[in-house]
Amino acid sequence: MNILIAAVGGQGAVLASKVLGKLAQNIGKDVKVSEVHGMSQRGGSVVAHVKFGDKIYSPVVERGSADIVLAFELLEGARYVDYLKENGILISNTQKINPMPVIIGAVDYPEDIKQKMAEKNINTKFVDALDLAKESGNIKTVNTVLIGLLAKNSPIAKEEWVKAIKETVPERFLDVNLKAFEMGYNLN
Protein backbone atom coordinates (compact mmCIF):
# COMPACT_ATOMS: atom_id res chain seq x y z
CA MET A 1 0.00 0.00 0.00
CA ASN A 2 1.33 3.42 -0.96
CA ILE A 3 0.16 6.37 1.13
CA LEU A 4 1.20 10.00 0.73
CA ILE A 5 0.44 12.29 3.66
CA ALA A 6 0.16 15.98 2.76
CA ALA A 7 -0.06 18.49 5.60
CA VAL A 8 1.00 21.83 7.00
CA GLY A 9 3.66 21.98 9.69
CA GLY A 10 2.24 21.25 13.13
CA GLN A 11 -0.67 19.09 11.96
CA GLY A 12 0.86 15.78 13.00
CA ALA A 13 2.01 14.30 9.69
CA VAL A 14 5.11 12.80 11.29
CA LEU A 15 3.10 11.11 14.05
CA ALA A 16 0.63 9.82 11.46
CA SER A 17 3.47 8.33 9.41
CA LYS A 18 4.80 6.65 12.55
CA VAL A 19 1.36 5.14 13.27
CA LEU A 20 1.18 3.81 9.71
CA GLY A 21 4.72 2.44 9.96
CA LYS A 22 3.92 0.66 13.24
CA LEU A 23 0.70 -0.71 11.72
CA ALA A 24 2.64 -2.18 8.80
CA GLN A 25 5.23 -3.75 11.12
CA ASN A 26 2.51 -5.23 13.32
CA ILE A 27 0.84 -6.96 10.38
CA GLY A 28 4.15 -8.37 9.18
CA LYS A 29 4.79 -6.11 6.21
CA ASP A 30 8.01 -4.54 5.06
CA VAL A 31 7.66 -0.77 5.47
CA LYS A 32 9.56 2.33 4.41
CA VAL A 33 8.73 5.87 5.57
CA SER A 34 10.17 9.16 4.33
CA GLU A 35 9.34 12.74 5.28
CA VAL A 36 9.96 16.04 3.53
CA HIS A 37 9.62 18.98 5.89
CA GLY A 38 10.40 22.02 3.72
CA MET A 39 9.42 25.14 5.66
CA SER A 40 7.23 23.13 8.01
CA GLN A 41 8.46 25.02 11.08
CA ARG A 42 6.89 28.14 9.58
CA GLY A 43 3.57 26.64 8.58
CA GLY A 44 4.86 25.27 5.29
CA SER A 45 4.18 21.94 3.65
CA VAL A 46 5.04 18.60 5.15
CA VAL A 47 4.87 15.50 3.01
CA ALA A 48 5.34 11.98 4.32
CA HIS A 49 5.63 8.92 2.11
CA VAL A 50 4.61 5.55 3.58
CA LYS A 51 4.96 2.35 1.59
CA PHE A 52 4.36 -1.15 2.87
CA GLY A 53 4.03 -4.59 1.34
CA ASP A 54 5.86 -7.91 1.09
CA LYS A 55 9.13 -6.22 0.07
CA ILE A 56 9.64 -2.47 -0.30
CA TYR A 57 12.83 -1.13 -1.88
CA SER A 58 12.20 2.64 -1.77
CA PRO A 59 10.21 4.87 0.56
CA VAL A 60 9.25 7.30 -2.20
CA VAL A 61 5.68 7.24 -3.46
CA GLU A 62 5.96 8.34 -7.08
CA ARG A 63 3.38 10.30 -9.07
CA GLY A 64 0.54 8.07 -10.18
CA SER A 65 1.31 5.34 -7.64
CA ALA A 66 -0.46 6.32 -4.39
CA ASP A 67 -3.37 4.21 -3.21
CA ILE A 68 -4.25 6.99 -0.79
CA VAL A 69 -3.42 10.67 -0.51
CA LEU A 70 -4.22 11.59 3.08
CA ALA A 71 -4.50 15.38 3.23
CA PHE A 72 -4.69 17.23 6.53
CA GLU A 73 -5.44 20.52 4.72
CA LEU A 74 -7.57 21.10 1.63
CA LEU A 75 -5.04 22.90 -0.59
CA GLU A 76 -2.28 20.47 0.38
CA GLY A 77 -4.48 17.64 -0.86
CA ALA A 78 -5.02 19.41 -4.17
CA ARG A 79 -1.26 19.88 -4.57
CA TYR A 80 -0.62 16.14 -4.39
CA VAL A 81 -3.67 14.66 -6.09
CA ASP A 82 -1.56 13.73 -9.13
CA TYR A 83 0.24 11.20 -6.94
CA LEU A 84 -2.91 9.07 -6.89
CA LYS A 85 -2.99 6.00 -9.07
CA GLU A 86 -6.10 5.12 -11.05
CA ASN A 87 -8.84 4.27 -8.54
CA GLY A 88 -6.80 5.80 -5.70
CA ILE A 89 -8.60 7.79 -3.02
CA LEU A 90 -8.06 11.33 -1.80
CA ILE A 91 -9.05 11.50 1.87
CA SER A 92 -8.98 15.19 2.78
CA ASN A 93 -9.72 17.44 5.66
CA THR A 94 -11.78 20.46 4.57
CA GLN A 95 -9.81 22.78 6.84
CA LYS A 96 -8.17 25.72 5.06
CA ILE A 97 -4.85 27.09 6.33
CA ASN A 98 -3.61 30.07 4.37
CA PRO A 99 -0.13 29.57 2.89
CA MET A 100 2.33 32.49 2.89
CA PRO A 101 1.38 33.82 -0.60
CA VAL A 102 -2.24 34.12 0.60
CA ILE A 103 -1.21 35.67 3.92
CA ILE A 104 0.78 38.43 2.21
CA GLY A 105 -2.03 39.07 -0.30
CA ALA A 106 -0.17 37.91 -3.41
CA VAL A 107 -2.89 35.39 -4.31
CA ASP A 108 -6.29 34.29 -3.09
CA TYR A 109 -6.95 30.91 -1.52
CA PRO A 110 -8.62 28.81 -4.24
CA GLU A 111 -12.35 28.61 -3.56
CA ASP A 112 -13.25 25.76 -5.89
CA ILE A 113 -10.91 22.95 -4.87
CA LYS A 114 -13.63 20.38 -4.18
CA GLN A 115 -15.34 21.20 -7.48
CA LYS A 116 -12.06 20.77 -9.39
CA MET A 117 -11.54 17.38 -7.79
CA ALA A 118 -15.04 16.37 -8.89
CA GLU A 119 -14.31 17.56 -12.45
CA LYS A 120 -11.17 15.39 -12.51
CA ASN A 121 -13.35 12.42 -11.54
CA ILE A 122 -11.18 11.70 -8.51
CA ASN A 123 -12.46 9.37 -5.82
CA THR A 124 -12.63 11.69 -2.81
CA LYS A 125 -13.70 11.62 0.79
CA PHE A 126 -13.88 15.09 2.32
CA VAL A 127 -14.40 15.51 6.04
CA ASP A 128 -14.36 18.40 8.48
CA ALA A 129 -11.74 16.67 10.62
CA LEU A 130 -11.05 19.85 12.59
CA ASP A 131 -14.63 19.92 13.83
CA LEU A 132 -14.45 16.26 14.84
CA ALA A 133 -11.07 16.82 16.51
CA LYS A 134 -12.62 19.65 18.55
CA GLU A 135 -15.46 17.31 19.49
CA SER A 136 -12.95 14.65 20.58
CA GLY A 137 -11.39 17.13 22.98
CA ASN A 138 -8.19 18.28 21.21
CA ILE A 139 -7.86 20.07 17.86
CA LYS A 140 -4.47 18.43 17.38
CA THR A 141 -6.17 15.09 16.72
CA VAL A 142 -7.12 16.04 13.14
CA ASN A 143 -4.49 13.52 12.02
CA THR A 144 -6.07 10.71 14.03
CA VAL A 145 -9.59 11.51 12.79
CA LEU A 146 -8.24 11.12 9.24
CA ILE A 147 -6.40 7.91 10.15
CA GLY A 148 -9.75 6.59 11.38
CA LEU A 149 -11.35 7.34 8.02
CA LEU A 150 -8.36 5.77 6.26
CA ALA A 151 -8.74 2.66 8.43
CA LYS A 152 -12.41 2.40 7.51
CA ASN A 153 -11.40 2.38 3.83
CA SER A 154 -8.66 -0.24 4.18
CA PRO A 155 -8.74 -4.05 4.28
CA ILE A 156 -6.77 -4.06 7.55
CA ALA A 157 -8.67 -4.98 10.73
CA LYS A 158 -9.69 -2.11 12.99
CA GLU A 159 -7.97 -3.76 15.96
CA GLU A 160 -4.60 -3.50 14.20
CA TRP A 161 -5.07 0.26 13.72
CA VAL A 162 -5.99 0.74 17.38
CA LYS A 163 -2.97 -1.33 18.45
CA ALA A 164 -0.65 0.80 16.30
CA ILE A 165 -2.07 4.00 17.81
CA LYS A 166 -1.65 2.64 21.33
CA GLU A 167 1.98 1.72 20.58
CA THR A 168 2.82 5.09 18.99
CA VAL A 169 0.89 7.93 20.64
CA PRO A 170 2.25 9.15 24.02
CA GLU A 171 0.19 7.87 26.97
CA ARG A 172 -1.02 11.31 28.05
CA PHE A 173 -2.65 11.88 24.62
CA LEU A 174 -3.87 8.33 24.03
CA ASP A 175 -7.49 8.59 25.18
CA VAL A 176 -8.28 11.68 23.10
CA ASN A 177 -6.58 10.14 20.06
CA LEU A 178 -8.51 6.89 20.40
CA LYS A 179 -11.73 8.93 20.60
CA ALA A 180 -10.71 10.88 17.48
CA PHE A 181 -9.89 7.63 15.67
CA GLU A 182 -13.35 6.25 16.47
CA MET A 183 -15.00 9.42 15.17
CA GLY A 184 -13.12 9.12 11.88
CA TYR A 185 -13.73 5.38 11.65
CA ASN A 186 -17.46 5.82 12.13
CA LEU A 187 -17.81 8.23 9.19
CA ASN A 188 -19.32 6.89 5.97
pLDDT at 8: 92
Are residues 126 and 92 in contact, defined by beta-carbon separation less than 8 angstroms? yes
pLDDT of the chain along its 188 residues, tens only?
A: 999 999 998 899 999 999 999 999 999 999 999 987 665 566 688 999 999 999 999 999 999 999 999 999 999 999 999 999 999 999 999 999 998 889 899 999 999 999 988 888 899 999 999 999 999 999 999 999 999 999 999 999 999 999 999 999 999 999 999 999 999 999 97
pLDDT at 40: 55
Are residues 48 and 61 in contact, defined by beta-carbon separation less than 8 angstroms? no
Are residues 143 and 181 in contact, defined by beta-carbon separation less than 8 angstroms? no
Measured CA to CA, the distance from residue 26 to residue 118 in angstroms comes to 36
What is the pTM assigned to this prediction?
A: 0.93
Are residues 19 and 164 in contact, defined by beta-carbon separation less than 8 angstroms? yes
pLDDT at 136: 95
Concatenated DSSP letters for 154-182? SSS-HHHHHHHHHHHS-HHHHHHHHHHHH
Question: How many CB atoms lie under 10 A from the CB of residue 86?
Answer: 6
Closest to 38 (Cα-Cα) out of 83, 7, 81 = 7
